Amino acid sequence: MAMALPDLRPWASVLLLDTVLLWLDGHGAPRSETLGLSAAAGHRLTLAQMAMALTDLRPWASVLLLDTVLLWLLRGTVGELLPQGLPGLWLEGLLRLGGLWGLLKVGGLLGCVGTLLPQLCLVTPLFLSLRGVVTGASSAPTVRVATASWSWLLVGYGAAGLSWALWAVLSPPGAPEREQGQENNRVLMWRLLKLSRPDLPFLIAAFFFLVVAVLGETLIPHYSGRVIDILGGDFDPHAFASAIFFMCLISVVSSLSVGCRGGFFTFVMSRINSRIRERLFSSLLRQDLSFFQETKTGELNSRLSSDTSLMSNWLPLNANVLLRSLVKVVGLYGFMLSMSPRLTLLSLLDMPLSIAAEKVYNARHQALLREIQDAVANAGQVVREAVGGLQTVRSFGAEEQEVCRYKEALERCRKLRWQRDLERALYLLVRRLLHLGVQVLILSCGLQQILAGELTRGGLLSFLLYQEDVGTYVHTLVYMCGDMLSNVGAAEKVFYYLDRKPNLPPPGTLAPASLRGLVEFRDVSFAYPSRPGQPVLKGLTFTLQPGQVTALVGPNGSGKSTVAALLQNLYQPTGGQVLLDGEPVSEYEHHYLHSRVVLVGQEPVLFSGSVRDNIAYGLKHCEDDEVMAAVRAACADDFIQEMEHGIHTVPIPVFLRCRGPHLQLQAWKSRGDQTVLVIAHRLQTLQSADQILVLKQGELLEQAQLKAGQDIYSRLAQQLLD
């Protein structure tokens, strides 16, 4: 019986690649003692996934088939329309790239081969262009890829595949997850840009001064080269004085523009900061109370202070650096190309190599930093265990053993730090050797151009000054985009709070001209949102009659404060209704309700400001006479008038306490037009009440229960009823 053999290609690929990476891991890759992982573990997983992807031959076969068809078309009439030399070679590569990309995308086969296409189509034009630059040839061979021998095509495929595999090795693990995070950060970035739209005129002004400042800085090396040419040839005093004058003028204008640029960006930063804080604070004040029970005050304060500052700094600071680097790069390369296109292309040689070296170094450096953190934490743990359990250590006579443990932990920290410093030194050495090699190549080609009369000595000096700066700005430009997307994450929580909809019913609209003050609780039940399984009130039913004082008493945690909160519409009952003059309290307009239903706390909250500001809190256009009338009604006029500045005194909270609450109750009762619910414990206060309600475990006690009860509140109610 014939048996179908399994496809062993993916497993063989995984085994081969994993063997190579394990060999690399055993020759210098850092390891983590805590997790048992190596720095190459992520890359092993990446390459294993790549090997599995290689077994799907449809995209690769499609690339080969479509590329063959496109090259056949470019060999015919289409190819004859292309220009000769390097322009035709580059145009051919771009046509191949566009055709393959579009056809594969339409067929849904782009997938993992998408990163291969640019190298495949552009490697030959790039190689021939660089060879022409280095050798000084003015034109490339007349032959193109479509008409060249098969060896050129095979070399191109080999180079593209090698570069694709190398980039997959250098890519850090977890790239798909980071791409998803980067997409979320892009959304946040656009929201931040929209938030900065009112500051667009100031940003345009800042950008204008930035361009002037950068152009001024860019022109100074140009005039430095002119000075060298004047001093090195026939000295012309007028030309020398003119060059020095323009250098000074450009320096002054550039310095003034730098100051104006910084001033505008700082101004924009302060405006954005104020706008974000105002919107966030407004959004927080409109949230439901359950939100503040679930969210810590410290976290909200952190969002209002630190996160809003990071958000306000994001656009001005990053835009400043990004735009400055962009204008610098464009300006510097513009001057460099005007001086010598050949030297400009040579200066680009070390850029991809430097980026690849940095990519490798950053991956290893981050892995080493994590291991150093683990080693330091391990050393600290040894100290904590030994010192915390010193009695146990001495009882076992293990002092020397603990010293050896700590010594081993310190030695591991030292070795890891040494490895970190060594790898950094090697990385810097590679960077400097690459830079030095390009400098030598530029000087050699520059000397040839000077001897050929194509470049002056001052022009070469200016070019070298430009080339010295442009690398830094290109590096900043490349990595600033990624940093902008990464640093915008601080805005995520702030936007979450800005977008959060409070869990409240639709705002009410009732605002009658007068209210009787009839309050009814009809079978009201309630549980706090943070504890939905623990009801605070259970089927509460009672009525507060107008002109009467009702005393609500009960032990702590029985739900008295919750009753007051429901009456103020601070929470919504989970069952039943709270009615005011026959209408649910949630149906009344917000400001109207809280101007009619007010709370007088036992220990009132004092805000910053004078006594008058606190008494008139929430009221607009309140005169001093009205404030004094309220003071007298609260029986607080005696001690307030004793203050140095009366109602305009800034109070100390401990001294601002109302005296004689029973006097206030008597005053309210004597008016006969107010419905009063008092939560009290004093017998003197309860004696002024027309009705006494005893609340226990969220339920009202009936008369029979009060008479039979032996707790303090039942006995208190019995005294008053008798």
pLDDT of 418 higher than 90 = yes
One-letter amino acid at 332 equals L
Q: How far is CA 638 from the centre of its chain?
A: 55
Inter-residue contact 549 to 688 (CB < 8 Å): yes
- Using alpha carbons only, how large is the chain's radius of gyration in Å? 40
**Range from 92-96, 193-197, 380-384, 665-669 carrying the lowest mean pLDDT:** 665-669
Q: Residues 251, 257, 262, 263: is their CA dihedral positive or negative? A: positive
Class of domain 176-340+470-501: mainly alpha
Domain coordinates in residue numbering, the chain: 58-170, 176-340+470-501, 519-604+658-721
Give the per-residue pLDDT at 450: 83
Read off φ and ψ for residue 690, nearest 5 degrees. -85, -25
pLDDT tens-digit readout, 257-315: 888 988 888 898 888 888 888 888 888 888 887 788 777 777 788 788 878 887 887 77
- For residue 709, is pLDDT > 50? yes
Residue 226's pLDDT is what?
A: 75
User: What is the spatial distance between Cα 530 and Cα 156, in angstroms, rounded to a whole number?
Assistant: 64
- CA distance linking residue 53 with residue 111, whole number of Å: 10
Taking alpha carbons only, the member of 276, 269, 268 closest to residue 205 is 268
- Which residue type is seen at 2? A
- Spatial contact of 328 and 218, defined as CB atoms under 8 Å apart: yes
Is 677 exposed, middle or buried (CB count within 10 Å of its CB: 0-12, 13-18, 19+)? buried
pLDDT band at residue 18 under the 50/70/90 scheme: low
- What is residue 112's predicted lDDT score, i.e. its pLDDT? 65
Which residue type occupies 593? Answer: L
Highest mean pLDDT of the ranges 34-43, 101-110, 530-539, 711-720:
530-539
Residue 633 has pLDDT above 70, yes or no: yes
Share of the chain above pLDDT 90, in %: 2
pLDDT tens digits for 119-159?
777 777 777 776 666 565 544 455 677 777 777 777 777 77
Integer CA distances (angstroms), 714 to 307, 538, 680, 697, 711, in order: 53, 19, 14, 14, 5
- The sign one gets for the Cα dihedral 172, 176, 182, 184 is negative
Residue that wins the pLDDT comparison between 172 and 380: 380
Of the pLDDT bands very low, low, confident and very high (cuts 50, 70, 90), residue 720 is low
Q: Which residue has the higher pLDDT, 543 or 672?
A: 543
Strand partners, 519: 544, 580
How far is residue 134's CA from residue 438's CA, in Å, rounded to a whole number?
11
Backbone angles phi, psi at 418, to 5 degrees: -65, -40
Question: Which tokens go with 598?
Answer: 């007010």
For 465-492, b/e burial (b = at least 16 CB within 10 A) is bbbeebbebbebbeebeeebbebbebbe
Per-residue model confidence (pLDDT) at position 168: 62
* Structure-model confidence comparison of residues 681 and 333, the more confident one: 333
pLDDT confidence of residue 11? 45
| Of 411, 358, 402, 370, residue with least CA distance to 384 | 402
What share of residues in the chain are helix, strand, coil (percent, to 5)? 70, 5, 25
What would the two tokens of residue 24 be? Answer: 């690399």
Is-same-fold flag (176-340+470-501; 519-604+658-721)? Answer: no
pLDDT digits (tens, 9 = 90+) for 471-513: 778 777 766 765 666 567 667 788 888 888 887 778 888 888 8
What is the C-alpha to C-alpha distance for residues 694 and 553, in angstroms, rounded to an integer?
A: 5
7: helix, strand or coil: coil
Instruction: Give one word for 108, left, alpha or beta, with left for phi > 0 and alpha for psi -120 to 50.
Output: left
Whole-number Å distance between alpha carbons of 85 and 103: 28
Query: Which tokens is 173 given?
Result: 């693990």
At 481 the pLDDT is: 63
Find the mean pLDDT for residues 358-364.
76
Nearest to 209 by CA among 271, 255, 278, 174: 255
Higher pLDDT, 250 or 81: 250
Which of 9-18, 369-378, 406-415 is predicted least confidently? 9-18
* Residue 354 φ then ψ, to 5°: -65, -40
Q: Is 358 a residue whose pLDDT tops 50? A: yes
Amino acid in position 357: A
pLDDT tops 70 at residue 656: no
Quick check: 174 and 42 in contact, CB under 8 A?
yes
- For the chain, the average pLDDT equals 76
Which tokens hold the place of 107? Answer: 């067929």
H or E element in which residue 476 lies: helix 457-487
CATH for 519-604+658-721 (3.40.50.300, 3.40.228.10, 1.10.579.10, 3.40.50.920): 3.40.50.300
Q: What is the pLDDT of residue 408?
A: 92
Q: Is the per-residue pLDDT at 211 higher than 80? A: yes
Q: What is the pLDDT of residues 428-472, one digit of tens each?
A: 888 888 888 888 888 888 888 888 888 888 778 878 887 877 877
Q: Higher-confidence residue: 135 or 228?
A: 228
Q: What angle do CA 640, 643, 648 make, to 5 degrees?
A: 80
Q: Tell me the longest C-alpha to C-alpha distance in the chain.
A: 122
Residue whose entry in the numeric block shows the structure tokens 């009221």: 619
d(CA 105, CA 191): 30
Of 36 and 653, which is predicted with more confidence?
653
Please classify residue 281 by burial: count the beta carbons closer than 10 Å to its beta carbon, then call 0-12 exposed, 13-18 middle and 19+ buried: middle
